[in-house]
Structure 1
Amino acid sequence: MDTQQNTALTRALAEIPGPLPARGVIHIAIPHTDRFTVVGNHLAQHPDLSCTAVGIAVRIQSLPQGVEVGIKALAARCREGEKRIAAALRELEACGYLQRVRDRLPSGRTITRTVFCNQPTALLRPRQTASPRRPAVAATHQAPGPAPGPAEELTAAPAPAPDPAPDPAPTPPSPSPSPSPEPDMPEPPPVPPPPSFVTPLPPLFVPLVPNPTAPKPPPPPLPRPAEATPELDRAATALLSDLRRHTPEFTLSEADIRQLAPGVAAWLERAAHPDAIRRTLTTDLPHPLRRPALLLKHRLTALLPPPLPGVHDLAAPARPRVTVTPFQTCDGCDRVFRSPTPGHCRDCREHRAHRGDDTRTAAA
């Protein structure tokens, strides 16, 4: 059978008025009546978003509110895998279209809310708050504006209504209509609208994940021994060369061994046992292991043990010596009191001093 041709587009192409472009795309625009989503060109032609991110954004925008839009939920709806969907969501977060916020419910449970904005640049525009009297004044000015039309006739009809009011002027009830407009006139003038914001409002959608192109901090340097001795270097080189006997994935080159030897020497200087170092470096490996030298450098740097404490550090702190004043017996009343030297108690000293004063007074 021959390939089936779709003639519907051909017929629609023939019905397009005017000359067709010689190159490029030709649009056949049929208005939607139901089940459609409005997408701005700022999203469809975004220079910093990939086609996958634009498609994921359109898919999220077309879903009703409350539908799950996590990575696994979108992977179940789309043909893309979870990694591509996760990368697309990070792009949308970086551009402000998407934000994932962690919120705590009254029950104590923590959930993640996904907020999507179809036009994040509109949130940065200054907002103006109009006075409630502004629409009424505008309506009064607009009423006499349009000359033709039946609307003016309807507005002109109530205008002659106040004309019969001056007719009963000589009669006493005439002053009654006159005060009626007076309470309307002394009304306070319309309050001017508050000034609009001069500075743009801060964006409500701040990306929680940093931009992948942002500069990353440099990795910490490989540890080195305080005193690089030939014995430490020889033991570190032997340990690194022997790793392939226990784990074939760690078949290192001579350049890698020379680069990692100072890190192992720092571990040996801190009294780490070679078996403990080998077990720390070769346990729980990722699969597949693509760059063993970088993994060893990371573990030697991040898992470096502290130096062993010295003998004086492990010794119990000496208790402070407390000087105790000894007990003494008073020579006058045999009372016990504390004093560094023997003698009389305080009462006897005061009595003796008072008696001496009386003696001196009598002699005088």
Structure 2
Amino acid sequence: MDTQQNTALTRALAEVPGPLPTSGVIHIAIPHTDRFTVVGNHLAQHPDLSCTAVGIAVRIQSLPQGIEIGIKALAARCREGEKRIAAALRELEAFGYLQRVRDRLPSGRVITRTVFCNQPTALLRPRRPAAPQHPAAPAPRPAPAEAPARVPTSAPARAQAPTSAPAQAPAQVPTPGPTPAPAPAPAPAQVPTSAPAPAPTSPPEPDTPAPPHVPPPPFLAAHPTPLFVPLVPPPTAPKPPPAPLPRPDELTPELDRAATALLSDLRRRTPQLTLSETDVRQLVPGVAAWLERAAHPDAVRRTLTTDLPHPLRHPAKLLKHRLTALLPPPLPGSQDLAVPARPRITVTPFQTCDDCDRAFRSPAPGHCRDCREHRAHRSEATRTAA
């Protein structure tokens, strides 16, 4: 059987304007008439929000007002677990889409309101109040290009004549200068055709007061920058320069020969690591640094050949990365491994006072502090009496 064709899809593709792209997505935009939600591209294409957070934001934005959007409530509606939903809500809260505000009711009870804003950056700009609505002035009736010389006077026309005159009265503005002679008034049944009818002017609009400055909400004023820092940098972030290949303190002929032999022998056991002569000369200093730090050749070979990716496209780059990132530290010396001597603590022995037989600490026998002070005081008194 031949491949079944979808005629509806073929017809819809034929209605897409312009030539169809050879690769990428093709949009078939059918206007919604009911049950739809407007989502901004700043949310749908947010560079720092995860797809889970964007989906949770769209789900919250589509729910009616007053619906519970806690972690357990969203977990009951979505397939994601509570941990992923909690992480997505933290992302939305860090970028200002979701806020939790504590409010006090008139009864004194403190509650937490969950607020979702579809454009958090718009809250930072002052919002203009709505302009007062004025009643629309009646539209002027267009004057005919060539009015008939006579208009039949009927009862409705006579009734409208006195009401239309006051409407045109504000349009007449007196001008300075000599007053011309009054012209004879035309008959009520005649309409002048030489001058157009004056257009009614609308009453002057009152001055609109300047919009007051609305300070930003406290949660956005305190944190103007996003608090959430993604752990994984975006693909467009600048990458740090690669670490240089380690080099030995002194590349002796013995180290150079051993490193060259080790790198050339890798293809004997691992055919994927077949290196060119240029690659071997570039990687010799790294292997020599390992051998200088007393690394066994078998350990170096095992580190370079274990758990290789499939397929291996750049063996020289892989070996350079492993020689740089897995470089062992130098072996400690015998003095570094020696156990440090414990510090000796000198203990002052006890002595017995010769006068009062009181025990006190002193390196040599003698008198205690009280007896020494008493002897000094007595000697001073004797010297004063003499």
For the residues of structure 1 that align with 2:261 and 2:28, how far apart are their CA atoms?
A: 58
For the residues of structure 1 that align with 2:297 and 2:31, how far apart are their CA atoms?
A: 60
| Equivalent of residue 129 in structure 1, options 123, 127, 130 | 127
CA drift of 1:283 comes to 0.7
* Residue equivalent to 2:306: 283
* Residue equivalent to 2:244: 221
* Residue equivalent to 2:267: 244
For the residues of structure 2 that align with 1:53 and 1:316, how far apart are their CA atoms?
A: 68
Kindly indicate whether the alpha-carbon contact (under 8 Å) linking 1:260 and 1:297 is maintained by their aligned counterparts in 2: yes
For the residues of structure 2 that align with 1:300 and 1:282, how far apart are their CA atoms?
A: 12
* Residue equivalent to 1:109: 83
| Equivalent of residue 333 in structure 2, options 310, 314, 319 | 310
Question: Secondary structure in 1 aligned to 2:374?
Answer: helix
| Equivalent of residue 256 in structure 1, options 279, 296, 317 | 279
The residue identity in structure 2 corresponding to 1:278 is R
For the residues of structure 1 that align with 2:128 and 2:139, how far apart are their CA atoms?
A: 24
CA drift of 1:217 comes to 3.7
Kindly indicate whether the alpha-carbon contact (under 8 Å) linking 1:131 and 1:192 is maintained by their aligned counterparts in 2: no
* Residue equivalent to 1:76: none
For the residues of structure 2 that align with 1:332 and 1:312, how far apart are their CA atoms?
A: 53
For the pair 1:274 / 2:297, whether they are aligned, the reply is yes
CA shift in 2, pair 1:270/1:284, >3 Å: same
| Equivalent of residue 147 in structure 1, options 136, 140, 145 | 140
Question: Secondary structure in 1 aligned to 2:351?
Answer: strand
For the residues of structure 2 that align with 1:290 and 1:359, how far apart are their CA atoms?
A: 103
CA shift in 2, pair 1:216/1:344, >3 Å: closer
The residue identity in structure 1 corresponding to 2:210 is P
For the residues of structure 2 that align with 1:61 and 1:270, how far apart are their CA atoms?
A: 69
CA drift of 1:289 comes to 1.4
- Taking structure 1 as the reference length, the TM-score comes to 0.52
Question: Secondary structure in 2 aligned to 1:109?
Answer: helix
* Residue equivalent to 2:321: 298
Moved more, 345-354 or 98-107: 98-107
Kindly indicate whether the alpha-carbon contact (under 8 Å) linking 1:222 and 1:301 is maintained by their aligned counterparts in 2: yes
CA shift in 2, pair 1:146/1:304, >3 Å: farther
Matches within 5 A, 1:353-364: 353-360=376-383, 363-364=385-386
CA drift of 1:191 comes to 4.2
Kindly indicate whether the alpha-carbon contact (under 8 Å) linking 1:131 and 1:191 is maintained by their aligned counterparts in 2: no
* Residue equivalent to 1:81: none
CA shift in 2, pair 1:217/1:337, >3 Å: closer
| Equivalent of residue 235 in structure 1, options 248, 255, 258 | 258
For the residues of structure 2 that align with 1:223 and 1:306, how far apart are their CA atoms?
A: 12
* Residue equivalent to 1:192: 210
For the residues of structure 1 that align with 2:352 and 2:320, how far apart are their CA atoms?
A: 76
The residue identity in structure 2 corresponding to 1:249 is Q
CA shift in 2, pair 1:349/1:215, >3 Å: closer
Matches within 5 A, 1:49-128: 52-55=23-26, 58=27, 96=45, 100-101=49-50, 106=71, 109-111=83-85
CA shift in 2, pair 1:230/1:29, >3 Å: closer
For the residues of structure 2 that align with 1:297 and 1:288, how far apart are their CA atoms?
A: 17
- The RMSD of aligned alpha carbons is 5.0
Question: Secondary structure in 1 aligned to 2:365?
Answer: coil
For the residues of structure 2 that align with 1:231 and 1:145, how far apart are their CA atoms?
A: 105
Question: Secondary structure in 1 aligned to 2:250?
Answer: coil
* Residue equivalent to 1:328: 351
- Taking structure 2 as the reference length, the TM-score comes to 0.49
The residue identity in structure 1 corresponding to 2:247 is R
CA shift in 2, pair 1:127/1:325, >3 Å: closer
Q: Which runs of 5+ in 2 are unaligned?
A: 1-13, 57-69, 73-81, 93-120, 143-159, 164-206, 215-223
The residue identity in structure 1 corresponding to 2:357 is D
For the residues of structure 2 that align with 1:355 and 1:220, how far apart are their CA atoms?
A: 81
CA drift of 1:96 comes to 4.9
Residue identity over aligned pairs, in percent, reads 58
* Residue equivalent to 1:21: none
CA shift in 2, pair 1:127/1:340, >3 Å: closer
